[in-house]
Amino acid sequence: SLLGRFCTGGGAPAPSGSPARDFATLPNARELAEARRLGQRHNLSNPFFQPHDGVAGARTRIAGREMLNFASYNYLGLNGDPRVNLAAAEALALHGSSASASRMVSGERPVHAQLEAALARNYGAEEALVLVSGHATNVSVIGHLLGPDDLVVHDQLIHNSCAEGMRLSGARRVAFPHNDPEAAERALAGARARHKRALLLIEGHYSMDGTVPDLARFRDMARRHDAWLMVDEAHGLGCLGPTGRGVWEAQGVSPDAADIWMGTLSKTLASCGGFIAGSRALVDWLRHTLPGFVYSVGLPPPMAAAAECALRLMEEEPWRVERLQRNTRRFRAALQARGFDTGGSTGGSIVPVILGSSLRAVRLAEKMAAQGINVQPIAFPVVPEGQARLRFFLSSEHEESELDEAAEALGRAAREVAA
Ligand code: PMP
């Protein structure tokens, strides 16, 4: 967020001479400078880019201070789990820290196929493919799958990585209002015939709002309009469904609902990277032609081993998923009981508190930090002005007393910061 960077210094002054070489004329540079001035004028500290010491989970340490933490994606507490660490350490000892080449050339290690088989199983898919970044996965796959003759109909809140992929593809893009299947169907019906291929693009669990789509409805409409359905499960895996297998499990829908499952290794799976799960035809094509895979290094073996171990632990210890979901329900109810607006969130790990102005959100985050609680404000331009919020990421590791304490602290902070 621009508001977030206001206190990190303005960098070197613009070089005199050619405006074409002046970085301060780049898009958003003026807004960034304005947000920084605003922050200074209101004497706000910068809530962003704060280094944490050690593993950030339900608790963390920032600048030597223990804090309750609601700003990490360590949903099931598996980052820092000794078994995950050991898996990574063993792979490190065996293979070193890098795959040292594209997998196609000489970067393939057995752990890649093991991880992919486990991910494919989770989504009832024939195959899966892992890449070095979740963001890069969406950019590369969507950018590669579609071309200028094609159509992509997507939820308006779709993640930036999907938006970048769509832009790269040159396909015609039509956004529909958040989680509105009727509007999505109108968009498909209106534009499908004029395009060769079509992709319907949604998330399984939206990261800004904690909302969840009606998977069966999107599946049915995709099939009616001869479109692929792609679901970004970055926040679905580990958070939705009785055993964390994702939105399909949560809704009792067969996982073949989606033609393309996408997810990341960086949240529940305590690692770094992205994946696609789907049919053999799709994955085989990607494996041999996808620029972000073919021309990029293989996932570092320790990261692959960590993700594979974390996925196994998710399966073997379903109490983690149950606790995460119980914590989320408890926390959401505690906030609602205090009159906070938690939007449409129903999912298993994300609770937004919609506050209105960006300034109020930043101020409230500051008050929470003063009470030893780390929660991130989400401000304009990431969300529209008037929709600024605090976003709480829950963890299976939070104690119920900590959740009650945080809800209490937010109530106090809100009374101190007038609307
Ligand atoms: N998709 C969604 C919905 C996300 O929220 C994110 C990151 N927060 C990504 C993709 C990118 O994943 P990564 O951070 O693992 O690159």
Contacts of 24 (CB under 8 A, 6+ apart): 14, 30, 33
- Which of 1, 135, 233, 376 is the best mutation target for the ligand 1 pocket, counting ligand atoms within 8 Å of the beta carbon and taking the most? 135
The least confident of 43-57, 109-123, 303-317, 344-358 is 43-57
pLDDT at position 8 is 46
- Give kind and range of the element (H or E) at residue 353: strand 350-356
pLDDT at position 93 is 98
> 414 CA to middle of ligand 1, Å?
30
Dump pLDDT digits (tens) for 179-224. 999 999 999 999 999 999 999 999 999 999 999 999 999 999 999 9
Over range 368-397, report the average pLDDT.
93
Q: Rounded to 5 degrees, what are φ and ψ at 196?
A: -75, -60
What tokens does 172 get? 């015609």
Q: What is the mean pLDDT of the chain?
A: 94
> 114 CA to middle of ligand 1, Å?
22
Over range 218-247, report the average pLDDT.
98
Could you tell me if 200 and 228 are in contact, meaning their C-beta atoms sit under 8 angstroms apart? yes
Classify domain 82-316 at the CATH topology level.
Answer: Aspartate Aminotransferase; domain 2 (3.40.640)
pLDDT at position 12 is 54
Over range 18-30, report the average pLDDT.
90
* CATH 3.90.1150.10 location in the chain: 38-69+319-416
What tokens does 361 get? 């959100």
Dump pLDDT digits (tens) for 242-264. 999 999 999 999 999 999 999 99
> 165 CA to middle of ligand 1, Å?
13
As a whole-number percent, the residues of the chain with pLDDT over 90 amount to 86
- β-strand pairing of 65-69 with 59-62: antiparallel
| Per-residue confidence band for 13, with pLDDT thresholds at 50, 70 and 90 | low
What tokens does 182 get? 């009727």
Closest ligand 1 atom to residue 203 Cα is: 3
* CATH 3.40.640.10 location in the chain: 82-316
Between the CA of residue 259 and those of 189, 198, 265, 281, what are the distances in Å? 19, 12, 20, 11
**Is CATH 3.30.1740.10 what the domain over 38-69+319-416 is classified as, yes or no?**
no
Q: Rounded to 5 degrees, what are φ and ψ at 350?
A: -120, 130
Reduced DSSP (H G I as helix, E B as strand, rest coil) percent helix, strand, coil of the chain, to 5: 45, 15, 40
Q: Is the peptide bond before 181 cis (omega within 30 degrees of 0)?
A: no
Q: Which residues line ligand 1 (CB under 6 A)?
A: 133-135, 138, 159, 161, 203, 207, 232, 234, 264, 266, 274
Cα–Cα dist 213/379, whole Å: 24
pLDDT at position 28 is 87
pLDDT at 265 over 80: yes
What tokens does 372 get? 């030893």
pLDDT at 16 over 90: no
CA distance from start to end of the chain: 21
Q: Report the DSSP beta bridge partners of residue 172.
A: 151
What is the amino acid identity at position 225? H
Could you tell me if 238 and 267 are in contact, meaning their C-beta atoms sit under 8 angstroms apart? yes
| Closest residue to atom 14 of ligand 1, CA basis | 134
pLDDT at position 39 is 85
Dump pLDDT digits (tens) for 142-185. 999 999 999 999 999 999 999 999 999 999 999 999 999 999 99
Closest ligand 1 atom to residue 136 Cα is: 16
State whether the Cα torsion 77-82-87-90 is positive or negative: positive
What is the amino acid identity at position 243? T
> 13 CA to middle of ligand 1, Å?
33
| CA 43 to centroid of chain Cα atoms | 31
pLDDT at position 61 is 96
Q: Report the DSSP beta bridge partners of residue 262.
A: 232, 276
